[in-house]
Structure formats: C-alpha cells, structure tokens
Amino acid sequence: MRLLENAKAALKLPDLRARVIFVFAMFAVYAFGAHVPVPGVDTKALGEAFAQGFGGGLLRLINLFSGGALKRFSIFALGIMPYIN
C-alpha cells in the first residue's frame, strides 16, 4: 500500500508527471510503429524467406533482438539493435 501512496505523491509533481506521460507516449508510438510495415515491401515473400531459414541463425538472432519486428519488416524494425552492437 505504501508503494501506491508514494506513486500517487510522486505524480502530483508537475515535472515528474510530464516526464512519465512522455515516456508512456513514446512507448505507445514505438508499439504502434513496430506493427506498421514498410511501404512497398512484399511481407508475404519476406515471411516465406524467414520460414525457409534464409540467413541462418544470425538473421534469427537479429529478429529476436528486434522483438520480431524484422520479420514483419516494420518501420521500427531496428529497435534496440544499434545500441546492442
């Protein structure tokens, strides 16, 4: 119960509340962008290439780190990959 009271008290601060809202808004934008495919890409052919094992284990590893967004070839397909390598 004390955790909830502390969270409510912290959200009464306008600066902290604005930052928390911004973080959740960015999460929502990323979650939406991870499901929007890049225009002009044949996602069906890309899915078949992944199913046939195209690229071997490295491509599957990169897809794993991107949260499956690479297989869908979404707008935010890189995810955190530039920061991991």
Report the predicted TM-score, pTM, of the whole model to 2 decimal places. Answer: 0.60
User: Both tokens of residue 69?
Assistant: 């967004």
Per-residue pLDDT tens digits for 16-49: 999 999 999 998 988 888 788 878 878 788 777 7
Distance CA(63)–CA(81), nearest Å, equals: 10
Per-residue pLDDT tens digits for 2-13: 999 998 998 899
Q: What share of the chain is helix, strand, coil (3-state, %, to 5)?
A: 65, 0, 30
Question: Which amino acid, one-letter code, is at 72?
Answer: R
Instruction: Tell me which residue range forms the domain holding 7.
Output: 2-84
Number of domains forming the structure of the chain: 1
Residues in CB range of 65: below 8 A, 6 or more apart: 79, 80, 81, 84
Residue in this structure with the two tokens 């955190």, named with its chain if needed: 80
